[in-house]
Amino acid sequence: MINKNKEKGLMERMGALGIREEDIVEKFIRSRGHGGQNINKTSSCVYLKHVPTGIEVKMQKDRSQSVNRFLARRLLANKVEDLVLGEKSLVRQEIERIRRQKRKRSRRAQERILKNKKIESVKKGLRGNVHETDE
């Protein structure tokens, strides 16, 4: 179900962060929520604990245990990266980028934008339509 390239990339990333399979405690538990008999009979929820850092992750997004294992490892790698790199981590940078985009503009910046919009609208108004004259 998981692309081999994605799996290989995750393993390389985990190796670069110093996450070894021996340091991970993995348990499979029954998921919760809707799903009826499938949920009640299969243990598709994956629990991971990285012993050196003490980070715990639980994943039950998919019905498949193998997909949940991959997603849990990816989440664990994100959390360890955030812990190790702090402000430099990709996840943190993405969150900061979105925060900056949503931030309200200052009054001065807003006034400057409106001034430029007004200038552009005046320019467009002066262009007018070209009419043929009857001579």
Residue 96: predicted pLDDT: 87
CA atoms of 90 and 78, how far apart (whole Å): 8
Helices 4-17/65-85 angle, 10° precision? 30
Decide if pLDDT at 87 tops 80. no
Decide if pLDDT at 49 tops 80. yes
Q: Does the model's pTM come out above 0.75?
A: no
Decide if pLDDT at 56 tops 80. yes
CA atoms of 48 and 39, how far apart (whole Å): 19
Decide if pLDDT at 63 tops 80. yes
Instruction: Give 17-40 pLDDT, tens digit per residue.
Output: 889 999 999 999 887 777 777 777
Domain segments of the chain as ranges:
4-88
Architecture of domain 4-88: 2-Layer Sandwich (3.30)
